[in-house]
């Protein structure tokens, strides 16, 4: 937080070192004093109250289509970002979007995900096995939470990277997703596009293979699935699955890392869950509520001028729906700054809501549960995050961790 914000003004910069370390005090003030706050640095409105975030996810006055954004620059022809902007889910009319979501989501229902629970466990155990008995400092992000999601999503979709190891596949997918951040520089976008060419080529090869010989995977399902007379064409399948491979890595990697570090910061709760694994699902949800999202969040764009809580929103301006603000709102959660796995988290907005509820939410929760369960088996008592060794990278005005160094101790 800037000195001005500390002294009374709520002006701040997203890239403030103090806010990167802990945004919670500022979020508490914003909810109380200015819940729809204008951020001059980004010419956007930061929305921090749960009820407002809940409403704006599906408010007809705003859209997720970033072509409406006043600072939108049309990507080059043939690029991933051009396709996503012109034909992705957010670019579609509500009827077509609903049909596409039903088709894609048909393979990602709770029942559908339950059929691959064993495969998820096998993937997680594969990466967890080398961590048993380790000592010293271990980068859990590099060795554990980063490679898992892309391998799992690869199994679900049917896409495998020929001749490339799992970690390289994961790195490639993460390079793609970095380009989706609104405020990154052109170099990041160009690198994302280059990696997308390779990623989509593998998806396209899989589509062709499944046309000849269908298997029990999402691509085979999408090639024949229909919603009435509506059916996805092959180009849409390639783009949607490629985007799924990219998006499914970043969020689950971040979520898995946060689940582990949050438990490590609360050792009494960690030991309680270690002793009773039936608590894992509720512990995952509380970790997400407590630690995921921070100051920023999902962006929506104003379709026209309108007034919201006395603020004059201009056509084309962005509204940022703060996940951290909503999920620590005291009007919804008692004592929200306390980590409590016994609370009711059925209403958390980490995965959005309504027509914009995350299609991969069921899969993500299954993966995060498996990641937490496996980590409880290899994390020794007293393990802790070495925060001064965490490596970060800047994505425009935002920052993400690149490593999660955990001290496993000396084995004694």
**319-349 confidence digits (pLDDT tens):** 999 999 999 999 999 999 999 999 999 899 9
- The three-state secondary structure class of 407 is strand
Q: What pLDDT does residue 110 have? A: 55
CA 159/CA 246 separation, integer angstroms: 12
CATH number at residue 260: 1.10.630.10
CA dihedral sign of residues 28, 32, 33, 37: positive
What proportions of the chain, in percent to the nearest 5, are helix, strand and coil?
55, 10, 35
Task: Answer yes or no: is 253 within a domain.
Answer: yes
HEC string of 333-370 equals CCCCCCCCCCCCCCCCCCCCCHHHCCCCHHHHHHHHHH
Q: Which residues contact 193 (CB under 8 A, 6 or more apart)?
A: 79, 80, 81, 179
List Cβ neighbours of 391 (8 Å cut-off, separation of 6 or more). 401, 402, 403
Identify whether 412 is part of a domain. Answer: no
Buried b (16+ CB within 10 A) or exposed e, 6-15: eeeebebbbe
| CA–CA distance, 305 with 264 (Å, rounded to integer) | 46
**pLDDT, tens only, 63-96:** 888 888 998 888 777 676 777 777 666 666 666 6
Q: Please report whether residue 58 resides in a domain.
A: yes
* Cα angle 339-290-380, degrees, rounded to a multiple of 5: 65
Q: How far apart are CA 236 and CA 48, in angstroms?
A: 35
The structural domain count of the chain equals: 1
pLDDT number for residue 343: 96
Better-scored residue on pLDDT, 52 or 5: 52
- Per DSSP, the three-state class of 401 is strand
Question: What average pLDDT does the structure give for the chain?
Answer: 84
In a domain, 242, yes or no: yes
385 bridge partner residues: 406
Give the residue among 366, 405, 410 at the shortest CA–CA distance from 384: 405
CA distance 217 to 112: 11
Task: Look at residue 326 and tell me if it is in a domain.
Answer: yes
300, pLDDT greater than 50 = yes
In terms of pLDDT, which residue wins out, 237 or 309?
309
pLDDT more than 70, % of the chain: 84
Find the domain containing 158 and state its range.
Answer: 3-407
The DSSP line for 85-102 is HHHSGGGS-HHHHHHHHH
Coil, strand or helix at 386:
coil
- Helix (H), strand (E) at residue 393: strand 392-395
pLDDT digit string (tens) for 195-225? 877 778 888 889 999 999 988 888 888 888 7
CA distance from start to end of the chain: 41
Taking the C-alpha atoms of residue 126 and residue 80, their distance in angstroms, rounded to an integer, is 32
């Amino acid at each position: 937080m800037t000195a001005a914000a500390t002294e009374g003004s709520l002006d701040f910069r997203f890239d403030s070192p103090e806010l990167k370390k802990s945004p919670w005090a500022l979020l508490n003030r914003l909810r109380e004093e200015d819940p729809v706050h204008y951020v001059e640095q980004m010419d956007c409105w930061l929305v921090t109250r749960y009820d407002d975030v809940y409403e704006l996810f599906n408010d007809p006055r705003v859209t997720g289509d970033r072509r409406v954004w006043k600072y939108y620059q049309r990507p080059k022809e043939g690029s991933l970002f051009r396709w996503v902007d012109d034909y992705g889910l957010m670019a579609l009319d509500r009827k077509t979007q609903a049909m596409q979501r039903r088709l894609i989501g048909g393979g990602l229902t709770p029942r559908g995900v339950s059929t691959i629970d064993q495969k998820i466990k096998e993937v997680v155990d594969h990466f967890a096995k080398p961590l048993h008995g380790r000592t010293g400092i271990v980068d859990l992000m590099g060795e554990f939470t980063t490679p898992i999601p892309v391998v799992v999503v690869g199994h679900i979709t049917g896409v495998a990277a020929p001749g490339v190891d799992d970690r390289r596949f994961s790195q490639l997918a993460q390079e793609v997703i970095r380009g989706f951040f609104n405020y990154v520089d052109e170099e990041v976008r160009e690198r994302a596009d280059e990696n997308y060419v390779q990623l989509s080529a593998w998806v396209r090869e899989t589509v062709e293979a499944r046309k000849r010989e269908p298997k029990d995977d999402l691509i085979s399902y999408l090639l024949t699935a229909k919603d009435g007379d509506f059916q996805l064409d092959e180009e849409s399948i390639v783009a949607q699955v490629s985007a799924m491979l990219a998006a499914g890595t970043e969020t689950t990697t971040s979520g898995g890392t946060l689940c582990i570090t949050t438990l490590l910061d609360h050792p009494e709760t960690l030991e309680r869950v270690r002793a009773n694994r039936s608590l894992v699902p509720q512990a995952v949800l509380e970790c997400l509520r407590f630690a995921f999202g921070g100051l920023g969040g999902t962006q929506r764009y104003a379709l026209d001028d309108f007034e919201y809580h006395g603020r004059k929103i201009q056509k084309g301006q962005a509204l940022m729906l703060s996940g951290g603000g909503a999920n620590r709102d005291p009007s919804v959660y008692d004592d929200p700054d306390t980590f409590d796995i016994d609370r009711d988290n059925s209403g958390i907005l980490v995965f959005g809501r309504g027509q914009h509820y995350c299609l991969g939410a069921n899969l993500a929760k299954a993966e995060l549960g498996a990641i937490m369960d496996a980590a409880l088996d290899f994390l020794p008592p007293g393990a802790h995050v070495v925060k001064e060794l965490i490596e970060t990278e800047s994505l425009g005005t935002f920052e993400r961790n690149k490593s999660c160094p955990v001290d496993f101790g000396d084995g004694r």
